[in-house]
Amino acid sequence: MAQLPESLLRRSAEARAKAEGRSVEDVLAEIKGEAPPTAPPPAVAETPAPAAGGGGRDLDAEAATFGVPRPLLERSMFARSKADGTPVPAMAGVAAPAAAATAVTAAPAPAPAAFSGPPPGVRTQRLLTVVKAGAIQGTGREPEDKVNVWPHLLAIEFVALLAMLAFLTLLSAFVDAPLLEFANFNQQPNPSKAPWYFLGLQELLAYFDPQVAGIIIPGFGVAALAFIPYIDRNPSVRPSDRKFAISLFTVFFVGASVLTIFGSFFRGPGFNFVFPWVDGIFFDDLLTILE
């Protein structure tokens, strides 16, 4: 049995002592197992408790011991015998109803009323265990420092949205999107450049075989990007713990940027190398800005 706090034991002992008319210390010692249990105050014979259909019962004594009103005990006894199909045990101290009387005559002579536990059908309550508070209330999670999304985050997002809208509207008010001559299949401009975000790849085409520059490098690049979380098994997010990963990504980031800028501004007719400040800029995406 779990170790119970002294205060609980004491409360339990006090309650029992009051009910049984004994001293608190007596009961406490009995609960703790330090003294042999004393017999409950009503004289009880050493006969076993009557099973259903067995000997008679002294309902008055039971009512006194358990504090259950006698009519309830009677009702429960009748209900049980009806449910079990067994005859009603004889009751001491009361004139049995007619139906019960016949059962009593059929049964052997009833022993004196006696029991050592609660009679069937009577519920008593006892303390099963004490659950300590920590086990229920502990969450196992550290409290986090959080702020309300409204107004703290939403205000920032709204300002960012307005700033972007203002920037884009102003840019669009002053700089027109390019529109060259009608598409002509027979007249390829020199140089022909892809959209700027593919110019890094087009730049690679100047160095490598088309299958390498156009398919293998971007294909493996995208696959490597997508699989980063499954390749990088380092659980730390601290920059000092991830020097290799950060270096590698920075090489990729700078490399892609340099190739794109190079393809955009340093390639002229025939996709040959030019200095933009000497030969001019051959980058139609920014045509209207440059003009």
Partner 1 sequence: MADGNGRGGIKEAVAGMGSHLRESQVWNSIFRPGSPMRSDNSDSPRNRSYVVMNNVLYHLHPVKVKRHGVRISYTLCLGGLSFFLFILLTITGIFLMFYYRPTSPQAYFDLQALGSDVAFGQLVRNMHRWGAHIMVLTVFLHMSRVFYHGAYKPPREFNWVVGIILLLFTLLLSFTGYLLPWDQLALWAVTVGSNMAGYTPVFGEQVTFALVGGIQITADTLLRWYVLHVLFLPFIMVIFMAVHFWRVRKDGGLSGPL
Site for partner 1 in 156-185 (CB under 8 A): 156-157, 160-161, 164-165, 168-169, 171-173, 175-185
Q: Which two tokens mark 134? A: 């920590």
133-153 burial code (b ≥16 CB/10 A, e <16): eeeeeeeeeeeeeeeeeeeee
Q: Which two tokens mark 205? A: 């085409």
Site for partner 1 in 41-70 (CB under 8 A): none
Note the Cα 111 to chain centre separation in Å: 60
Query: Nearest approach, Cβ of 279 to partner 1 (angstroms)?
Result: 20
- Degrees to nearest 5, angle at CA 283 with 278 and 286: 110
Out of 129, 148, 186, 270, name the contact with partner 1 by CB under 8 A. 148
Out of 220, 253, 273, 275, name the contact with partner 1 by CB under 8 A. 253
Residues 17 and 23: beta-carbon distance below 8 Å: yes
Query: Nearest approach, Cβ of 140 to partner 1 (angstroms)?
Result: 15
Cis peptide before 178 (omega within 30 of 0): no
Complex with partner 1: residue 65 or 260, whichever CB lies closer: 260
Tell the residue number behind the tokens 């190398």, with chain if given. Answer: 273
Phi, psi of 145, rounded to the nearest 5 degrees: -85, 105
Out of 19, 246, 251, 258, name the contact with partner 1 by CB under 8 A. 246
Complex with partner 1: residue 7 or 184, whichever CB lies closer: 184
Out of 95, 192, 207, 278, name the contact with partner 1 by CB under 8 A. 192
Out of 125, 187, 278, 291, name the contact with partner 1 by CB under 8 A. 187
Complex with partner 1: residue 7 or 148, whichever CB lies closer: 148
Give the dihedral of Cα atoms 204, 207, 212, 217; nearest 10 deg.
-40
| Helix 70-84, helix 59-66: angle, nearest 10 | 120
Instruction: Give the binding-site size for partner 1 (rule: CB under 8 A).
Output: 71
Residues 272 and 279: beta-carbon distance below 8 Å: no
Query: Nearest approach, Cβ of 85 to partner 1 (angstroms)?
Result: 59
Site for partner 1 in 94-113 (CB under 8 A): none
Site for partner 1 in 202-241 (CB under 8 A): 202, 205, 210-211, 214-215, 222, 225-226, 228-230, 232, 234-239
Asked if 136 touches partner 1 (CB under 8 A), the answer is no
Complex with partner 1: residue 33 or 229, whichever CB lies closer: 229
Complex with partner 1: residue 19 or 222, whichever CB lies closer: 222
Contacts of residue 67, defined as CB under 8 A and 6 or more positions apart, other chains included, come to 19
Query: Nearest approach, Cβ of 258 to partner 1 (angstroms)?
Result: 14
Which residue from 74, 180, 164, 67 is spatially nearest to 121, judged by alpha carbons? 74
Residues 191 and 247: beta-carbon distance below 8 Å: no
